[in-house]
Amino acid sequence: MPRKSPKTLPFCDRTPSNRLNPARAIARARITTLLWGEDALCFRYGFYMSLPPILQVLVPDNEVENAAAVVLRMPGSIKLTELPDDFGEDHWRDPMRSSAHTKSALVKLPVLVPDLLVPQLVAIHPFSDFHFSINDSTARPYSTPNLHFPTPIAFTNCMIDTYLDPTSGVFHHRVRRSWVIWLHDLVEGLAGGYHHLPNGQLHP
């Protein structure tokens, strides 16, 4: 069962102000931005998990390139046309396809020393890649205007839909493995009592 992160762990206090800077920059550009994957699970729901070198966010389908342009304003950032070899995906079908997210934008950030406080890549996915429709019942505001996190039910439903019906039509073992981990943490974490806010109320 996933464990809730003790507040004494350094990334609980420091990481959101550093790691999420690219997401905040996109949101400040008035682009609706949704935290996704491990970052949503860690920073909003307090699940103790190893943060990957990729920060993943979802934006409206017609804003993917605009969001990438915002991140590219960061000095030293470059846009990638495919994942680097060390971030490559294990293919189940169609080995000519380099990614399960063919409509996404990838921006590599300059990182002098590998550190979970600073992501090495920002993956900007369109909402449709995960069958996600953002509204008051599927997302809640985070710390910056236009920055949101998915509700547990919406996150779970979208991951199940995407697992069973990937929008790209391509199955990648490594990607699907991550989805299974997210679902596992969500289901067991919520069942184990991590669905309570600090004031005792239930998470939405």
Whether 5 is in a domain gets the answer no
Domain that holds residue 162: 10-191
Tally of domains in the chain: 1
Q: pLDDT truncated to tens, each residue of the chain (204 aa)?
A: 344 433 333 344 344 567 899 999 999 999 999 998 888 877 777 665 667 788 999 999 999 999 999 999 999 999 987 766 555 544 444 455 555 677 889 999 987 666 667 788 999 999 998 888 988 888 888 878 999 999 888 888 888 887 777 776 666 655 666 667 777 767 666 655 554 455 545 454
Report the predicted TM-score, pTM, of the whole model to 2 decimal places: 0.76
Whether 133 is in a domain gets the answer yes
Place of tokens 């981990």: 181
Whether 197 is in a domain gets the answer no
The CATH number of residue 22's host domain is: 3.30.460
Whether 196 is in a domain gets the answer no
